[in-house]
Amino acid sequence: MHCPLGSSVQQNGHCNPRYPKEYKSLYPLDSMSMAPNPYYTKGLPPPAWEHWNDVRVGEDIPLSKDKPYYGPLPPKYHLLMRQSYFAATSYVDYEIGRVLSTLEEEGFADSSIIALVGDHGWQLGEHQEWSKYSNYDSATRVPLMFYIPKVTDKHWPHQHKFRLIDPLDRIHQTEQQDAFDNVTPQYNQSLGFVSNALVELVDIFPTLSKIAGITVPPVCPIDTFHTDFCAEGVSLLPVICNVTATVNCGLIVRWKNASFSQYPRPTFFPSHKTNTPKLTEINLMGYSMHTKKYRYVEWLSFNHTDYAVNWTEPVARELYSYKVDPLEMQNVANASQYRNLIKELSQQLRSNWRHALPVLKKKTNTTE
């Protein structure tokens, strides 16, 4: 959903939110709530702001003209946008269910590895933002689920791998769920496995390669301009084996201690080119690092001709402490009590993803 409701504007090929109108009935407008953190982040440096101009250009979005890049979306439209997004998500969920149930009906479920992933997050009013062009968790965190026959489905007690439930058929849905709950009450909460390990989208290719028995490409060297085939990610199979109690996958000595993202800007202050600048327009780069406790960002001068980055003089910083601020509502990078932490995180960011890679140990068979 990259455009306003009813808008005919086309950008990035993502317009408009399209779904059968019946899906809106799943989310009555009077049941919708505002984003839990719909306010502009305190202490946010100008280059970190994502002005969602692709939404603002819609004729059906009434916004103040004297502040073209700031200001909240009126509450009425805030709720309408969230309703539309939820409806579109439920429709896509049902369509995915149709594909998976057909896979089982045709006899391929036991021989198929499935990865369900989103290419980016989406800001639905969080931080007073509405798109994806930032380093916030709401813009960079994505769903990631794997199905591996006889590994991730070992606790599924029902006969079907993929049960298809039409969300519009509420009566039938309730009857199906009641029958399922009566048979397997011990699995009501979750039928799958969950891990809170830090993982990244670059890990998907090595993971699927490892599971399928294909040679996993080597880790990319520092200079990749002369390398034909490499990967910046690692296989997530040890994590999957750990949560599913599957043997012979190796022991995790230490998993990734950080994940990374970045976003470009043409100017220090918001402009009409801020969200999606061309390479020749990029003059700043925001490098973001997410750890278990913090998210730390440095905005640095970037040379788009030779890709050089000036790491010596950040033009802006961001720091969010998840213990006291899980919704990233206050940038505390300038707070004196975090001065030593800033130095530590800055060094870790400069060390980059290679120094955050996991340490693994192969499992060996021993005899008593």
In the chain, beta strands by DSSP E: 114-117, 144-147, 251-254, 259-265, 284-290, 294-301, 316-321, 359-361
Rounded to whole angstroms, the Cα distance separating 150 from 223 reads 40
| Residue pLDDT, tens place only, 192-246 | 889 999 999 999 999 999 999 999 888 998 888 888 899 999 999 999 999 998 8
Pick the residue with more confidence: 298 or 362? Answer: 298
Q: Please answer whether residues 293 and 321 qualify as being in contact, where contact means their C-beta atoms are separated by less than 8 angstroms.
A: yes
Q: What is the mean pLDDT of residues 80-102?
A: 94
Residue 257 has pLDDT above 60, yes or no: yes
Closest among 89, 119, 110 to 154, alpha carbons compared: 110
Residue 8 has pLDDT above 70, yes or no: no
- What DSSP string runs through 142-185? --EEEE-TTTTTTT--SS-SS----TT-HHHHHHHHHHHHHH-G
| Residue pLDDT, tens place only, 152-194 | 988 777 778 888 989 998 645 555 555 444 433 333 445 688 9
Residue 2 has pLDDT above 70, yes or no: no
Rounded to whole angstroms, the Cα distance separating 130 from 61 reads 12
Closest among 169, 135, 133 to 270, alpha carbons compared: 133
**Would you tell me how many other CB atoms lie within 10 Å of the CB of residue 244?**
18
Sequence-distant (6+) residues with CB within 8 A of 15 are 2, 3, 7, 8, 9
Strand partners, 319: 296
Domain 21-155+192-361 has CATH 3.40.720.10: yes
- The confidence score (pLDDT) of residue 3 equals 53
| Domain positions in the chain | 21-155+192-361
Q: Give the least confident one: 73-77, 198-202, 298-302.
A: 73-77
Rounded to whole angstroms, the Cα distance separating 22 from 98 reads 18
Residue 15 has pLDDT above 60, yes or no: no
Q: Is the pTM of this model over 0.75?
A: yes
pLDDT averaged over every residue in the chain: 86
- The confidence score (pLDDT) of residue 158 equals 73
Closest among 161, 363, 343 to 246, alpha carbons compared: 363
Q: What is the mean pLDDT of residues 97-117?
A: 95
